[in-house]
Chain A
């Protein structure tokens, strides 16, 4: 998918963070939310589980639960309210449990 959904208009200072989404490496700055990071690089965060197409979050304030992504450790994360962390491996689809690196 080409293009970014979000347009960053304010720079952020902080430690650089490297993470990945569906195996593609992404860079971010500590303090960025997962959602802002994904939508600064692309246009969706998950595929709806009941055939509702691609989704990219909706309320951006933790109320609608439309922005969940899956972590490589098997859990799910609410992308709009979860900050990025170095080494995060994120996926648009549920993942089989991988051994934890933490």
Chain B
């Protein structure tokens, strides 16, 4: 029988496993996490008395449903938690589980690896107390902790207001919600967002909640600096009217939307192409999630679409797998899923335009701003290296010259900003600046494990 391996037990991976299981397959489902659910539907760790229905709000029903479905599915698949895929070499997946190396051969590979926050650098962002916006939610859901006692939310994303609301609800103080996109730019994207009125209404409700609570809510800000001696003490921004504002706080949550986790897809041979709306390189797939023969991509790891799109695209990709294995399919079901994925991803595309990645602000950063947290490379160092080279320069060249993106996060954090700096300095568009290529190991592993099964 064809061995099907799914990587990622978020809504996309779980939905895919369910469809395959219902047709008599027993896929292997691999996830790095201790518990299934992925990022958005993350479960509290053991013993934590967290009221998830209160925290999940309007999404509580979906959260419960997904975990109930997984509980029912778990025994009928080969589920491997706490297992990281660190390399893909042809059909072979290299794994590490609890410090032990292992390999698995996949005839069919379905990647549902999710996403992480996209961040823009600013002076002071390496101070202890600055975390990603998604991280602020993970601290709460996974550990029952807030990232600080008085938190500033900075970036451009509808999730700024969502997370700020959750923090207030849990007894945290919110210093400010500062969004870099002007309100009128968001209004201009309204038509695209009407594709998902429910989500749009939810966003407006968060805004109303913040206003009722008296949280300062700024649009169109220019971030100036995060200040503090050894840890965060304040966030300084210029507001939409040009006034400088300083908000004292002991933590900053930073987020400009999400970026897909594409390293494994890259290693598995997926083609990637520049997407001008997201300003990111995204894996190319057909309308069902097919990348190349035997490789399927679903969820936020393919295109940012949110939890509902992840679930639908996971199911859709599983149907594509079944079709390609010669199983007969219910076309009506597949059409419905495909339409759903198009609609929901279209909505996210609208959001990506509304909550814009602040290209001009990134390019205007002073030389002293750190770009690469891992290797401590400044934006000035990147500019200086580029000034010394002739002809067009792309990001991998800059990486070799400066070590920017060469550190242990593999450019996951600095990659999008590096791309904009390189494009800006060389006068090219984002596509020409290129992307940092994925490399094994996609995340650092214990050396003992690598030696056992190195590809």
Q: A31-B45, A43-B230, A44-B128 are in contact. Are A8 and B144 (CB under 8 A)?
A: yes
Interface CB pairs A-B, < 8 A, 11: A7-B145, A7-B172, A14-B47, A30-B47, A32-B45, A52-B376, A54-B230, A56-B231, A58-B373, A59-B132, A60-B142
Specify the main secondary structure of chain B where it touches its partner. Answer: loop
Residues on B with beta carbons closer than 8 Å to the beta carbon of A40: 145
Q: Are A7 and B146 in contact (CB under 8 A)?
A: yes
**Given contacts A10-B50, A51-B376, are A66 and B148 in contact (CB under 8 A)?**
no
Which of B128, B135, B373: most chain A Cβ within 10 A? B128
* A6 contact from B32, B50, B139, B376, Cβ within 8 A: B139
Within the complex, the shortest CB–CB distance from A60 to chain B, in Å, comes to 3
Q: How far is the CB of A83 from chain B (nearest CB, A)?
A: 7
B48 touches A59 (CB 8 A): no
- How many angstroms from the CA of A84 to the CA of B135 in the assembled complex? 19
Q: Pick the contact of B139 from A48, A54, A60 — CB < 8 Å?
A: A60
Interface size on B, residues (CB 8 A): 54
Contact (Cβ within 8 A) B48 A10: yes
Output the residue of A13, A61, A83 with the most chain B CB within 10 A.
A61
Number of interface residues of A (CB under 8 A): 43
Contact across chains for B230 and A65 when beta carbons are under 8 A apart: no
How far, in angstroms, from A32 to B139 measured CA to CA in the complex? 11
Partner of B412, one of A44, A64, A81: A64
**CB within 8 Å of A: which of B33-72?**
34, 39, 44-50
A contact patch SS: loop
| Set of chain A residues within 8 Å of B443, measured between Cβ atoms | 62-63, 65
Query: CA–CA, A65 to B328, complex, Å?
Result: 45
In the complex, A44 Cα to B34 Cα: how many Å?
25
Which of B39, B44, B132, B140 has the largest count of A CB atoms less than 10 A from its CB?
B132
- Complex interface residues of chain A between 1 and 42 (CB less than 8 A to chain B): 1, 3, 5-14, 29-33, 36, 39-40
A28 to chain B, nearest CB (A): 11
B185 within 8 A of A: no
How far apart are the CA atoms of A53 and B45 in the complex, in Å? 31
Q: How far is the CA of A72 from the CA of B446 in the complex (A)?
A: 15
Q: Could you tell me if A9 and B131 are in contact, using CB atoms closer than 8 angstroms?
A: no
Contact between chains at A9 and B170 (CB < 8 Å): yes
- B contact residues around A54 at 8 Å (CB): 127-128, 230-231
The residue in chain A whose Cβ has the minimal distance to the Cβ of B170 is A9
Task: Give the interface centre of B131, B143, B250 by most chain A CB atoms within 10 Å.
Answer: B143
Complex-state Cα separation, A20 to B128, whole angstroms: 20
B130 within 8 A of A: yes
- Give bound CA distance, A7 to B130, whole Å: 14
